[in-house]
A and B are shown apart, each in its own frame.
Chain A
């Protein structure tokens, strides 16, 4: 077999396993950080300091019985979590997570640490993010339960509303970088201003970054925007009727979507794998640090802010976030034109 193909397949497998294990790490981190914020101990029984808790969780889910409500649409009921998980994994395929490397001289030709270097990568991320909504909507509809259906409808309207601001925040970064390729956008952030401030787009696009993170949290249905599964009102929202591995797949999809949103934010605004002190071949360490910081922010938000009211969510999305995103885009475009000429 040709060596390029083998390296490519190995990369695909690596990203798959890395995403799976990132979900496990996130489950543990979420429990521990939540416990810390609430002055509890968190999991401590399974393994040293409870680090094996995620595996215990998965094992528990695997041995549970798969239930199916009466009158549910069997095919769609089984398909919905698969769609959710597939969309979550697929989005990461175009995200670069390190500079070209030869793996310490193991390979004779450098490989890109990115599964597919597409020249429209950022649009691919956006397209797959818009596929996420199908998993949730179909789950809600096929369950034949009113809580599930209400959760699904809320989720669909929430995701459609915030997708606009999300897309406009992406577009303003495109204007600054002048490219649709995520690798090019990261390269455009190399170097420093005045020898201290790194040329990260967060300093050019502070408003864009804030809009991106808010819309990203809403897109991934996390608190304070976790309406699709608002416990007090909807039991558990779109996954009320799910059990066993089907439920585990929704769970997995949620965490992987968070990782993807954070990784894309790192590439777009925080300079990707570039950072001081480390050589370019170890840039992935910087990438991991930045993604971990954003994920911590995600969890911190969840356990700090209470849930919005549904009408507040819609008001905020359409009357505050979207106009701000449009304003940011127009100002950025004007800035880019005046600097270019």
Chain B
């Protein structure tokens, strides 16, 4: 087996197993750490796809910045261990939201199957030409500020709005 394939399977198993264990943990801090492990494995997969820039950004933004914030919040709120599952007759979530959740899960599964079908059918562009803009930082920058300029600016406005909103909510007597 080539080295790439071994690396792929190790990282893929790690990513899936860590993600599953995130929701299987009772201790929130362990969940946060497993999520970081899952992000790291994803970053490794990006490296295998010849997209080192995306991989590093994944680590800086998700594993570095956002998860530190998560960890901070969990630590400061001193979130307790989750209680053992309540008895079946009195589930912690009401029936309405549960049905909605089940419906969303089905929709997501259908979507996923549809997407995978499209990919396996070979309709999407793959290979070196498709990968080229992803591996070059220069190219990513160019595309981001020309082709996707509007989306880029809108995202930054969204982030500013969220920040201002958070400050207003946190300090009511400004």
Contact = CB atoms under 8 A, between A and B. Distances in A.
Contacts of A149: 75
Given A127-B64, A131-B63, A160-B68, A153 B56 contact: no
A118 interface: yes
A185 interface: no
Given A76-B29, A134-B36, A123 B75 contact: no
Interface string A100-119: 00000000000000000011
B115 interface: no
A82 B171 CA distance: 39
A137 B64 contact: no
A127 B72 contact: no
Tell which of A127, A137, A152 has the most Cβ of chain B within 10 Å: A127
A227 interface: no
A131 B65 CA distance: 9
Contacts of B53: 120, 123
Nearest to A174: B137
A63 B53 CA distance: 44
Interface string A111-146: 000000011100110111011011001100100000
Contact of B71 (A73, A120, A137): A137
Given A126-B60, A127-B59, A141-B29, A120 B65 contact: no
B52 A137 contact: no
B64 A124 contact: no
Interface string A144-184: 00000100110010001000000000000000000010000
B52 A120 contact: yes
A127 B56 contact: yes
Interface in A56-76: 73, 75-76
Contact of B137 (A75, A138, A180): A180
Nearest to A179: B137
Contacts of A152: 75
B56 A120 contact: yes
B68 A133 contact: yes
Interface in B32-81: 33, 36, 52-53, 56-57, 59-60, 63-65, 68, 71-72, 75-76
A147 to B, nearest CB: 15
B68 A156 contact: yes
Contact of B75 (A75, A118, A124, A153): A153
B57 A123 contact: yes
A124 B68 contact: no
A281 B51 CA distance: 32
Interface residues of A, number: 24
A119 B33 CA distance: 28
B59 A131 contact: yes
Contact of B65 (A119, A124, A130, A137): A130
A9 B56 CA distance: 23
A76 B31 CA distance: 12
B38 to A, nearest CB: 14
A184 to B, nearest CB: 12
Given A73-B29, A141-B75, A119 B52 contact: yes
Contacts of B36: 134
A141 B53 CA distance: 32
A333 to B, nearest CB: 13
A220 B65 CA distance: 17
A159 B135 CA distance: 30
Contacts of B30: 75-76
Contacts of A160: 68
Contacts of B65: 130
A111 B33 CA distance: 38
Given A120-B56, A134-B36, 17 more contacts: A73-B29, A75-B30, A119-B137, A120-B52, A120-B53, A124-B56, A127-B59, A127-B60, A128-B59, A130-B60, A134-B68, A134-B71, A138-B33, A141-B29, A153-B75, A156-B68, A156-B71
6 contacts: A76-B29, A131-B64, A137-B68, A137-B72, A137-B75, A153-B75
Which 10 pairs across A and B sit closest by C-beta, in order of nearness? A130-B64, A127-B59, A123-B56, A127-B60, A120-B52, A127-B56, A120-B56, A120-B53, A141-B75, A124-B56
